[in-house]
């Protein structure tokens, strides 16, 4: 057991940090107010191979492993959760194609995605269902060599970027959930105006309307009627990126807390002299340290896993721990700032809005506990 | 064009803490200095323009093989590494001997680039010493390099102005940080860096007998910074004090 990053991982970490600080940081306020990550930034991230990090070289990926992916994404999220959200949702959709796609599907969709020319999506949530995807109502009707898809998908990341979308619909012939690769912006595809999220500004989130969207039968992902395991895989693997984003937020809050504790003075001395502040800094540090190794380990497990049910349980545990630590750690960092922390001028207020997000996405915290308890009590 | 870049392995300065004015170097990862990265970027840009190869030459401690991956990721084609485990801090005259010998062994070299000074000690000696040992012309404080047929036109950044000089190849240049913005390597370049060719040898293997150091560092202390604790009663007084300290207005 060796809890250290390899020299390559340290370099990848530095690379992501340098890029985020040199190129994204100067635009952070613009991203926050306009709720959009500039195209130049996405192109820059693509040049660094961040859009295909864990994917095989054979399909244009960097084959760097999910652990290295977490290490890099943490540094991007530390500066811009929105940018990291785009990469995370993309990697989730792309990973599903890599895992369940045919050779032809992988050759067709993966290289452009790995180059960042296309950005992938993964769509299961609907107005009527989030935590319980078995209730999916979007329909797929076979029509000769095609399927015709109708329905609405809610809260879809990267819905406004062209590229493949792994979409779940109910096959009307067998009543079962089937996964399809749908090319965004084809005939019948439209999107709502972007949701104005509390945090993670810049990461695009829309509802997607599918009206008689025709998808060729060869775009069924996996077997017809076997979409549910793909969905479970996706929700579990999506948590790898969610953890990295939560971790990046916590790391940024940690740094803000330490800087503020040393700079803000009370009767001429830094507030760090107060034990109440010291205890808070220690709490944040411990939460970060614990979360980081859990998040990296989940990445490591993802590189090796063959058993998705087992991985789903590990991912559920890791997500709860990391999302809650990130939220509470950031909350404590906000306390250190007193009322200043509530002001938009102070970065910690943005980090707090970012830190709230993690608990709800890729399965709410309650559902994760249900998964973990089920694996212990009723297996 | 065969270009050599000499890069020094130094502690990551962003991670060095100062305690009782002494730098704490335990567990601080080793990296290359920022100016050395500018030198490497210049070399890679020239290679991209006219072809050839870029070789990194470095003398340092164990772990140098890991440190050099950074340079190999950022565009160097190969590395020549000299491991000096016996010496605490390699004296400039000895580094220069080691680097000059390594460069000689590389055969035909057209251009040798150094950072103007190393990121840690900034003694600014090694580039000039190597030029002397190799009997090559040297130009310092380089902030711009232009390649013309078989020659370089180089702009030197001086305190009160700029000097433009022409220099025949082969030559040694020592560069300043304004020269360029070093590239950030991609994930693939980082992962492939470890597979690029490396030659590794010890200082003894390279020189036979390594000279005994003649300069000994007695202490290395950060400057003492004391808060001045100047108190002001009014805004006008604050402005006056800031002016007196040279923080406001033109000198
Ligand atoms: C920024 C962002 C990005 C997103 N990206 C995507 C995306 O790319 N693709 C996509 O498909 N979706 C996406 N989503 C949607 C997200 O995954 C869902 O919102 C999430 O799964 C929760 O579903 P819900 O909001 O419908 O909550 P609900 O299912 O309505 O849950 C509400 C609450 O009810 C309780 N609850 C519900 N069911 C149970 C149960 N069975 N047992 C116990 N308690 C229960 C829980 O306490 C939960 O907190 C995104 C959301 C956000 C905010």
Residue A1 lies in a domain: no
Once rounded to an integer, what is the mean pLDDT over residues A47-67? 98
* Cis upstream peptide for B170 (omega within 30°): yes
Query: pLDDT band at residue A295, thresholds of 50, 70 and 90?
Result: very high
Looking from the CA of residue A125, the nearest atom of ligand 1 is 11
- Report cis status (omega within 30 of 0) of the bond before A88: no
B190's tokens: 């980082």
To the question of domain B2-215 being in CATH 3.40.50.620, the answer is: yes
Identify the sign of the CA torsion A124, A129, A134, A140. negative
d(CA B80, CA A159): 49
Say if residue A129 is in the same domain as residue A169. Answer: yes
Residue A201 lies in a domain: yes
Q: Give the position, in ligand 1's atom list, of the atom nearest the Cα of A158.
A: 8
Distance of residue A292 Cα from the nearest chain B Cα, in angstroms: 19
* Full DSSP string of A142-195: EETTEEEEEEEEEEEETTTS-SEEEEEEEETTT--EEEEEEETTSTTEEE-PPP
Evaluate whether A193 touches A206 at the Cβ level (below 8 Å).
yes
Closest-CA residue to A111 (of A56, A59, A47): A59
| Cα separation, A370 vs A15, whole angstroms | 38
B127 C-beta neighbours (distance < 10 Å), count: 27
Give, using CA atoms, the residue closest to atom 53 of ligand 1: A361
- What is the C-alpha separation between B75 and B65, in angstroms, rounded? 16
Same domain, A176 and A100: no
The SS3 assignment for B10 reads strand
- Contact call for residues A291 and A325 (beta carbons, < 8 A): yes
Does residue B131 or residue B12 have the better pLDDT? Answer: B131
**A287 and A328 housed in the same domain:** yes
Cα separation, B175 vs A339, whole angstroms: 48
Q: Is the pLDDT of residue B241 over 60?
A: yes
Best CA proximity match to A294, nearest among A318, A264, A275: A318
Q: Return the residue matching tokens 């015709």.
A: A148
Hey, how many other C-beta atoms are within 10 angstroms of the C-beta on A107?
A: 13
Query: Cα separation of B186 and A63, whole Å?
Result: 12
Whether residue B56 contacts residue B40, with contact meaning beta carbons closer than 8 Å, is answered with: yes
What backbone phi and psi angles, to 5 degrees, belong to A161? -100, 130
Distance CA A112, CA A119 (A): 8
Of B29, B69, B184, the CB nearest to A48: B184
pLDDT value at residue B23: 87
Do the Cβ atoms of A299 and A65 come closer than 8 Å? yes
> Ligand 1 atom closest to Cα of A200?
1
- Using the predicted structure, report yes or no on whether residue A189 has a pLDDT greater than 60: yes
| Three-point CA angle A142, A147, A150, nearest 5° | 105
Shortest alpha-carbon distance between residue B130 and chain A (Å): 30
- Cα separation, B99 vs B126, in Å, equals 9
B6's CB contacts (< 8 A; 6+ apart) are B36, B39, B56, B57, B58, B99, B112, B113, B114, B126, B127, B130
Give A198-237 pLDDT, tens digit per residue.
999 999 999 999 999 999 999 999 999 999 999 999 999 9
Q: From the CA of A18, how many Å to the nearest CA of chain B?
A: 7
Domain shared by A109 and A181, yes or no: no
The C-alpha angle A21, B17, A326, rounded to 5 degrees, equals 50
Q: Is the ipTM of this complex over 0.85?
A: yes
Q: Check pLDDT > 60 for residue B251.
A: no
* A248 and A292 belong to one structural domain: yes
Cα separation, A279 vs A285, in Å, equals 10
Per-residue model confidence (pLDDT) at position A2: 83
pLDDT, one tens digit per residue, over B74-97 is: 999 999 999 997 767 788 999 999
| DSSP run (H or E) holding B241 | helix B235-244
Instruction: Specify if A2 maps to a domain.
Output: no
Which pLDDT does position B222 carry in this prediction? 83
Candidates B70, B42, B38; CA nearest to B54 is B42
To the nearest whole number, what is the mean pLDDT of chain A? 96
Question: What does the pLDDT read at residue A224?
Answer: 95
One domain for residues A215 and A234: no
Is residue A379 over pLDDT 80?
no
Q: Which tens digits make up the pLDDT trace of B207-220?
A: 988 888 888 888 88
**What is the best residue among A90, A125, A200, A234 to mutate for testing ligand 1's pocket, by most ligand atoms within 8 Å of CB?**
A125
Joined tokens for residue B140: 């310092």
Mean pLDDT of all residues in chain B?
Answer: 91
CATH number at residue A251: 1.20.140.10
Using CA coordinates, name the residue in chain A closest to B230. Answer: A268
> Which of A81-95, A306-320, B178-192 is the least confident region?
A306-320
* Rounded Cα gap, residues A287 and A329, in angstroms: 6
Number of domains into which chain A is organized? 3
Residue B20 vs residue A162, higher pLDDT: A162
Same domain, A241 and A165: no
Q: Is A180 in the pocket of ligand 1 (CB under 6 A)?
A: no
What is the span of the domain harbouring residue A172? 121-221
pTM higher than the cut 0.95 = no
* Residue A3 confidence class, pLDDT cut points 50, 70, 90: confident
Instruction: Decide: A9 and A54 in contact? Cβ < 8 Å.
Output: no
Among chain A residues, the shortest Cα distance to B231 is held by A268
For B125, phi and psi rounded to 5 degrees? -105, -30
Q: Is the pLDDT of residue A262 over 60?
A: yes
Is the domain of A88 the same as that of A131? no
Q: What is the mean pLDDT of residues A18-28?
A: 97
Residue A362 falls in the annotated catalytic set: yes
Q: pLDDT grade, residue B2 (50/70/90)?
A: very high
Q: Which of A243-252, A285-294, B211-220 has the lowest mean pLDDT?
A: B211-220
The angle at the Cα of A95, spanning A356 to A76, to the nearest 5 degrees, equals 45
A114 within 8 A of A51, measured Cβ to Cβ: yes
Q: Which residues of B touch A68 (CB under 8 A)?
A: 187
pLDDT band for position B248 (cuts 50, 70, 90):
confident
Assess contact for A34 and B220: CB atoms under 8 A: no
Rounded to whole angstroms, the Cα distance separating A45 from A41 reads: 6
Whether A188 and A213 have beta carbons less than 8 Å apart is answered as yes
The CATH number of the domain holding residue A51 is 1.10.540.10
Which pLDDT band holds residue A291 (cuts at 50, 70, 90)? very high
Q: Hey, CA dihedral for B92, B94, B99, B101, is it positive or negative?
A: positive
Tell how far the Cα of A114 is from the centroid of ligand 1, in angstroms. 28
CATH number of the domain encompassing residue A141: 2.40.110.10
Contact criterion met (CB below 8 Å) for A254 and A285: yes
The pLDDT, as a whole number, for residue B250 is 62
Q: CA nearest B96: which of B64, B136, B67?
A: B136
Bridge partners (DSSP) listed for residue B57: B6, B80
For residue B6, which of B49, B64, B52 has the smallest C-alpha distance? B64
Q: Are residues A244 and A359 in the same domain?
A: yes
Q: Please, which residues 155-194 of chain B have a Cβ atom closer than 8 Å to chain A? A: 184-188, 190-191, 193-194
User: Is the domain of A180 the same as that of A298?
Assistant: no
> What is the mean predicted confidence (pLDDT) over B139-147?
95
Assigned domain for A276 exists: yes
Number of other CB atoms surrounding residue B2 within 10 Å:
17
Domain boundary among A46, A79, A114: A114
Residue pair A348/A330 in contact by the 8 Å Cβ criterion? yes
Cα A247 to Cα A89, A294, A328, B109, distances in angstroms = 16, 10, 12, 47
Could you give the 3-state DSSP secondary structure of residue B58? strand
Segment A55-76 shows an average pLDDT of 98
Cβ burial B24-57 (10 Å sphere, 16+ → b, else e): eeeebebbbbebbbbbbbbbbbbbeeeeeebbbb
């Amino acid at each position: 057991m060796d809890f250290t990053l390899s020299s390559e991982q340290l370099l990848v970490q530095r690379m992501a940090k340098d890029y985020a600080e040199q190129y994204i940081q100067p635009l952070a306020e613009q991203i926050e107010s306009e709720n959009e990550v500039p195209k130049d930034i996405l192109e820059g991230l693509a040049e660094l191979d961040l859009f295909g990090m864990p994917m095989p070289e054979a399909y244009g990926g960097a084959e760097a492993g999910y652990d290295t992916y977490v290490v890099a994404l943490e540094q991007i999220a530390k500066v811009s959760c929105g940018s990291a959200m785009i990469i995370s949702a993309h990697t989730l959709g792309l990973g599903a194609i890599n895992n369940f796609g045919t050779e032809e599907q992988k050759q067709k969709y993966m290289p452009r995605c790995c180059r960042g020319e296309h950005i992938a999506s993964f769509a299961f949530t609907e107005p009527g269902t989030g935590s319980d995807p078995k209730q999916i109502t979007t329909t797929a009707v076979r029509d000769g060599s095609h399927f015709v898809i109708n329905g609405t998908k809610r809260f879809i990341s990267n819905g406004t970027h062209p590229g493949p979308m792994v979409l779940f619909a109910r096959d009307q012939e067998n009543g079962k959930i089937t996964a399809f690769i749908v090319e965004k912006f084809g005939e019948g595809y439209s999107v709502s105006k972007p949701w104005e999220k509390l945090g993670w500004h810049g990461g695009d989130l829309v509802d997607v309307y599918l009206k008689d969207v025709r998808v060729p039968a060869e775009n069924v992902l996996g077997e017809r009627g076997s979409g549910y395991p793909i969905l479970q895989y996706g929700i579990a693997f999506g948590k790898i990126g969610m953890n990295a984003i939560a971790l990046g937020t916590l790391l940024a809050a940690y740094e803000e807390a330490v800087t503020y504790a040393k700079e803000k003075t009370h009767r001429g001395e830094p507030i760090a002299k107060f034990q109440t502040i010291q205890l808070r800094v220690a709490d944040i540090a411990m939460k970060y340290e614990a979360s980081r190794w859990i998040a990296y380990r989940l990445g490591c497990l993802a590189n090796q896993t063959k058993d998705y049910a087992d991985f789903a349980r590990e991912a559920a545990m890791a997500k709860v721990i990391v999302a809650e630590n990130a939220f509470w750690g950031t909350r404590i960092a906000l306390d250190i700032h007193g009322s200043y922390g509530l002001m938009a001028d102070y970065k910690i207020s943005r980090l707090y809005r970012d830190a709230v997000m993690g608990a709800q996405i890729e399965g709410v915290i309650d559902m994760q506990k249900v998964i973990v308890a089920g694996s212990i009590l009723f297996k | 064009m065969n270009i050599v870049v000499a890069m020094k392995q130094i502690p990551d300065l962003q991670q060095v803490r100062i305690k009782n004015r002494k730098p704490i170097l335990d567990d601080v990862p080793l990296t290359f200095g920022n100016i050395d990265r500018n030198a490497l970027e210049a070399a890679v840009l020239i290679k991209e323009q006219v072809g050839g190869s870029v070789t990194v030459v470095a003398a340092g401690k164990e772990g140098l093989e890991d440190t050099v991956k950074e340079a190999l990721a950022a565009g160097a084609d190969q590395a020549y590494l000299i491991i000096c485990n016996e010496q605490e801090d390699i004296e400039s005259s000895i580094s220069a001997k080691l680097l000059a010998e390594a460069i000689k062994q590389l055969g035909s070299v057209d251009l040798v680039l150094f950072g103007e000074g190393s990121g840690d000690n900034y003694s600014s000696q090694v580039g000039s010493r190597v030029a002397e040992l190799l009997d090559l012309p040297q130009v310092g404080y380089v902030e711009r390099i232009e390649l013309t047929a078989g020659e370089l036109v180089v702009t030197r950044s001086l305190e009160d102005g700029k000097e433009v000089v022409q220099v025949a190849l082969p030559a040694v240049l020592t560069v300043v940080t304004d020269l360029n913005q070093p590239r950030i390597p991609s994930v693939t370049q980082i992962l492939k860096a470890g597979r690029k060719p490396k030659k590794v040898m010890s200082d003894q293997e390279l020189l036979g007998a390594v000279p005994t150091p003649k300069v000994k560092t007695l202490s290395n202390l950060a400057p003492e910074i004391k808060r001045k604790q100047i108190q002001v009663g009014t805004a006008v007084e604050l402005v006056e004090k800031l002016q007196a300290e040279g923080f406001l207005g033109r000198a």
